[in-house]
Structure 1
Amino acid sequence: MTESPLGAIVDLLRTSPLDLGGDPDKMRLVFDEMIASHPVPADVRTTAAGLGGVPALAVTAGDGEPSGTVLYFHGGGYALGSAAASVNLAADIARRSGTIVYTVDYRLAPENRFPAAVDDALAAYRGLLERGVPARTIAVSGESAGGGLALALLVAVKEAGLPQPAAAAVLSPWADLTQSGRSHETKTAVDPALTRQALTTRADHYLAGADPRSPLASPLFADLRELPPLLIQAGTYEVLLDDALRLAAKAADDDVAVTLQTFPGAPHVFQGFAAVLAEGARALDDVATFLRTHLDGQPG
């Protein structure tokens, strides 16, 4: 029987040399090599940018003048990844939504410990506001740890008394650094990319003794009231599924407009395979529709 594209991606991830819980220096090289094997499409344009003193890349794709801004945070367990490595996924969002996407090079652990990443995220958001970009024309997004960071940013924005962005879309967010979700047990056998042990290692290195239940570390435990509309996506083949499910329930309980989408059989951050995976393409199309709806001032 011919294997489905989704099954092929799961198998590819199972045999990947990337170990999220491995030595950061070695795994950063592996991560960059994996990303470099996927060339950036010819219609993608990147420009170095600084937002509030934090390095970032401005990404646009396709034809036409971008309308609206997305502040994007890459994944990698707060230890791996970079703005450059996230360009393909950022460009997919930019192309589909017709926005300019700023993907942020926030400081990584263990060299830079919590709350360094949150401080950088907030500085980058302030940087956009100081450039005269209205909050109502900004959305935030991110995948995995970057999804958790995007949510932490919203909490930090509220604490700082700044205007909230128009919306947030998070992909397979890591929103609970205590690893208390039931899916850490129920999805262990099917998740091809993540383990509780690897996530605990990364959380320990990032937190360095800080409380993992801190709202800026684990937004699942934050007061989410007054946050903008959220779109949360996750695959059912990931140990972080419960992070998405519980986050959606907490947002609804806190009177936040929230849309939850789950994709059967999909692994962690399957949206990164949108070029070859129908589920990934459909998910990013939904992200784009959600972003455009709220950036255009038409609440759903």
Structure 2
Amino acid sequence: MPEFTRRDIARGVALLGTMATLGDGSPLFAEALDAKTKAALALVNPELLSIARKEAAWRNGPPLTKNYLNIRKQIDGSVAPPLPDIPFAKHSIPVGKGIPDVIIYVINAGGTKRPAILHTHGGGFVLGSARSEIRPKQEMAKALDCTIVTVDYALAPEATYRVSVEQNYAALKWLYDHAATLGVDRKRIAVMGESAGGGHAALLAIVARDRGEVPVMFQCLIYPMLDDRTGSTRMPPPGIGVIGWDVPANVFGWRSFLGQQPGTATVPVTAVPARTKSLAGLPPAFIGVGSIDLFVDEDITYAKRLIDDAVATELHIVPGAFHGFDGAGADTSIAKQFTHAKMNALRRAFGEQSV
């Protein structure tokens, strides 16, 4: 029977959202793997196989629809302590339009015209928190010598996209308006997110383009959740989207975010990056995803559409990698290579040399 550590939980659950628990909070494991899972495991990069088996062991637990509140509690209880040498500050900023104020964490402010990243966390629109991102974003801010603002946007199903999108935009606008005080270069502000946070970052780039108030210069989308039709009206090929975030979780996440059934003709275009008619005029993009991630097809399609609309785009596909592999398997060489590519894409966007 596999054993999970606190580190496993902290790295994986915020993005994958697939951990199951018994009523007393103890882990529930599946000793036997079904044929679908076995077939998917055969596609996993060998370096990630032991991690994938751990992820697969959670599959027979309570579905996300019934367990997301428990998972939120586990995320809150697994937050890594912040680094003592990289400052961060908590702010509550107004949003307006009858929408509640939003909490943000400003990391590594100060200095002289540093680049900045507006970050939105992952969790399928229903999980995750900005507080859990403080430590990893301190590490990123230190490595890039930049300022990062991570947003504690309202989660679904308690709040739909109408709330969270406006909260994220308010945070971006606040970062831009307070650039001088924060020591940020207004001309070097990027958006970034993972999974649902990648979807939010893509939406943020679109909203910023359409409103014309904040000139976003780059979008870094890590296995972004871009299309509500995945798993609802478009089913993935065999072996895709089995390890980690899967079809039932995806349908629940989108239904919660949209406030209606995903995949229908009535889904609002403003809530779904993949439904945006034109991507022309968006900032350059880095999109990274694993080849057996549920989002691989929608991410490839989005990258192609960006390219077709004359948006400079780097698409990085990792063979045999599943959703959230770089967090769950951060110590593997394949995850380190992926992270290295992501960090260098940000460095180049900021006008600095790759390392």
- TM-score w.r.t. length of structure 1: 0.86
| Larger Rg over CA atoms | 2
* Cα distance in 1 for residues equivalent to 2:291 and 2:346: 23
Counterpart residue type for residue 193 of structure 2: G
- Alignment pair present for 1:203 and 2:254: yes
* Cα distance in 2 for residues equivalent to 1:291 and 1:10: 28
**Secondary structure, counterpart of 2:187 in structure 1:** helix
**Secondary structure, counterpart of 2:343 in structure 1:** helix
Identify if the C-alpha distance between structure 1 residues 297 and 275 changes in structure 2 by more than 3 Å, giving closer, same or farther. Answer: closer
- Alignment pair present for 1:105 and 2:147: no
1:89·1:272 contact (CA, 8 Å) conserved in 2? no
**Superposed displacement of residue 57, structure 1:** 1.4
- Alignment pair present for 1:185 and 2:237: yes
Counterpart residue type for residue 115 of structure 1: R
* Cα distance in 2 for residues equivalent to 1:268 and 1:23: 19
**Superposed displacement of residue 202, structure 1:** 1.5
Q: Name the counterpart of 2:308.
A: 253
Q: Name the counterpart of 2:285.
A: 230
1:97·1:289 contact (CA, 8 Å) conserved in 2? no
* Structure 1 unmatched ranges of 5 or more: none
**Superposed displacement of residue 245, structure 1:** 0.7
Identify if the C-alpha distance between structure 1 residues 91 and 279 changes in structure 2 by more than 3 Å, giving closer, same or farther. Answer: farther
* Structure 2 unmatched ranges of 5 or more: 1-44, 95-100
Q: Name the counterpart of 1:145.
A: 196
The one of 243, 266, 271 equivalent to 1:217 is: 271
Please list the CA deviations of residues 120-139 of structure 1 after superposition, one character each: whole Å capped at 9, or x if unmatched: 11111111111135542211
The one of 111, 114, 136 equivalent to 2:187 is: 136
Please list the CA deviations of residues 47-101 of structure 1 after superposition, one character each: whole Å capped at 9, or x if unmatched: 213455421112349xx98921111111111111000122344234323322121
**Superposed displacement of residue 203, structure 1:** 1.0
* Cα distance in 2 for residues equivalent to 1:119 and 1:288: 27
* Cα distance in 2 for residues equivalent to 1:210 and 1:191: 22
**Superposed displacement of residue 216, structure 1:** 2.9
**Superposed displacement of residue 39, structure 1:** 5.4
2:239·2:292 contact (CA, 8 Å) conserved in 1? yes
* Cα distance in 2 for residues equivalent to 1:86 and 1:20: 22
1:60·1:101 contact (CA, 8 Å) conserved in 2? yes
Identify if the C-alpha distance between structure 1 residues 51 and 137 changes in structure 2 by more than 3 Å, giving closer, same or farther. Answer: farther
Identify if the C-alpha distance between structure 1 residues 18 and 68 changes in structure 2 by more than 3 Å, giving closer, same or farther. Answer: farther
Superposition pairs of residues 55-204 of structure 1, within 5 angstroms: 55-60=103-108, 67-132=114-179, 133-179=184-230, 184-188=236-240, 191-204=242-255
- Alignment pair present for 1:12 and 2:54: yes
Counterpart residue type for residue 214 of structure 1: P
**Superposed displacement of residue 111, structure 1:** 1.0
Counterpart residue type for residue 8 of structure 1: S
Identify if the C-alpha distance between structure 1 residues 41 and 256 changes in structure 2 by more than 3 Å, giving closer, same or farther. Answer: same
Please list the CA deviations of residues 142-176 of structure 1 after superposition, one character each: whole Å capped at 9, or x if unmatched: 00000000000111112212232110111110000
2:92·2:102 contact (CA, 8 Å) conserved in 1? yes
* Cα distance in 2 for residues equivalent to 1:39 and 1:268: 25
1:110·1:206 contact (CA, 8 Å) conserved in 2? yes
Q: Name the counterpart of 2:71.
A: 27
Give the count of matched residue pairs.
291
Aligned-pair identity (%): 26
- TM-score w.r.t. length of structure 2: 0.73
The one of 278, 290, 299 equivalent to 2:345 is: 290
Counterpart residue type for residue 46 of structure 1: F
**Superposed displacement of residue 109, structure 1:** 0.9
RMSD between superposed Cα atoms in Å: 2.8
Counterpart residue type for residue 154 of structure 2: R
Q: Name the counterpart of 2:322.
A: 267
* Cα distance in 1 for residues equivalent to 2:140 and 2:269: 27
* Cα distance in 2 for residues equivalent to 1:41 and 1:249: 39
Counterpart residue type for residue 6 of structure 1: L
* Cα distance in 2 for residues equivalent to 1:175 and 1:26: 26
**Secondary structure, counterpart of 2:268 in structure 1:** coil
